[in-house]
Amino acid sequence: MIKLVLEAFLLAVALDLLFGEPLPALHPVVWIGSFIGYIDRHSPRKLKRLYGVAMALSCIILTIAIGYGITVVLYQVSPLLSLLAMAYLLKSTFSFSFLWRTSGDIHADLKAGRLEAARAKLPALVGRDVSRLDSGQMASCVIESLGESFVDGIFSPLLYFTILGLPGALAYRAINTLDSMVGYKDEKHRETGWASARIDDLANFIPARLAVLLMAAVSGHPARAIRTSLRDGKNAPSINSGYPMSAFAGALGTRLEKLKFYVLGEGLKPCGVEDIPRAIRLNKMMTAAVVAVILAILWLTPLPLIGG
């Protein structure tokens, strides 16, 4: 009999490809973010680092307990209901189609010369100031996001799902949401966000480096992808994101740059608008490879360790 987790994985992938992201009011990650925002607003003036540790752990544990607990309870009522809940919750931890669609929309705007329209869409992918970027620099933003988001938006949650089941995927999504909201973003969170940032670094350390190998294998330019990653991976401030972004630059043969912060792929051709479709295709190829490998693992092995 096909395992419930395998069925849930297939359904989650189908949900993403057919419907994209749930409405904000129905999105579990939005709920996680609301909880983080609430406890962040009530941080004390003293013992901020200790509070930050408690904030991170409580968010991760509650996310696992509520999410996985729902599927366990529903299974006692109906395996079908449990399957639907598991697929919906799993889908909320990753996103293929939103990334591809948004990148494609920005490419269409840039190609048509609609720079302001492209700038208005870019905050969905990057957090930097884009108000003064030209078309090539905005294209670089999109391609960097396609490289980096492959790890935190696709590969990492699915890797943890493969190993630890739904609890692993939910835990990762809570960790990544914590980091995006409070992890070292400003002076206010230097102490309260310390734990969230460190846990996210740890959670992405292995996936970010495995993603380099996957990019190299799929791209058709393995030597250049790995060479660029090893050379430029430390240029980005994050201990993790620079490696897959650099590998992505090498795989595409394109120089990527965040002004005044870093350059990835020095010596490669400058990034242009025409490189965005190639980057989307490469991201799709890597995603397809990940989905195929996970299907094989779930079918042929006892994984995941939880719920398998």
Averages of pLDDT over runs of 10 residues in the chain (308 residues) are 86 97 96 96 91 96 97 96 97 97 97 96 91 93 96 98 97 97 84 95 97 95 96 93 96 93 94 96 98 96 88
Token pair belonging to 136:
């090539």
Backbone angles phi, psi at 243, to 5 degrees: -70, -50
Nearest to 238 by CA among 201, 209, 192: 201
Q: HEC states along the chain?
A: CCCHHHHHHHHHHHHHHHHCCCCHHHCHHHHHHHHHHHHHHCCCCCCHHHHHHHHHHHHHHHHHHHHHHHHHHHHHHCHHHHHHHHHHHHHCCCCCHHHHHHHHHHHHHHHCCCHHHHHHHHHHCCCCCCCCCCHHHHHHHHHHHHHHHHHHHHHHHHHHHHHHHHHHHHHHHHHHHHHHHHCCCCCCHHHHCHHHHHHHHHHHHHHHHHHHHHHHHHHCCHHHHHHHHHHHCCCCCCCCCHHHHHHHHHHHCEEEEECCCEEECCCCEECCCCHHHHHHHHHHHHHHHHHHHHHHHHHHCCCCCCCC
Structure tokens, 140: 């670089």
Sheet holding 254-258, edge to edge: 262-264, 254-258, 269-270
All structural domains of the chain with their residue ranges: 4-300
25 CB burial (10 A radius; 0-12, 13-18, 19+): exposed
C-alpha span between 146 and 245 (Å, rounded): 8
The pLDDT score that the predictor gives to residue 308 is 65
The tokens of 124 are what? 């969905």
pTM of the model: 0.95
- Are 283 and 100 in contact, with CB atoms under 8 Å apart? yes
Sign of CA pseudo-dihedral 54, 57, 63, 66:
negative
> Which is it for strands 254-258 and 262-264: parallel, antiparallel or unpaired?
antiparallel
C-alpha distances (whole Å) from 177 to each of 30, 32, 307 are 9, 8, 24
Backbone angles phi, psi at 263, to 5 degrees: -130, 135
Residue 122 backbone zone (phi > 0: left; psi -120 to 50: alpha; other: beta): alpha
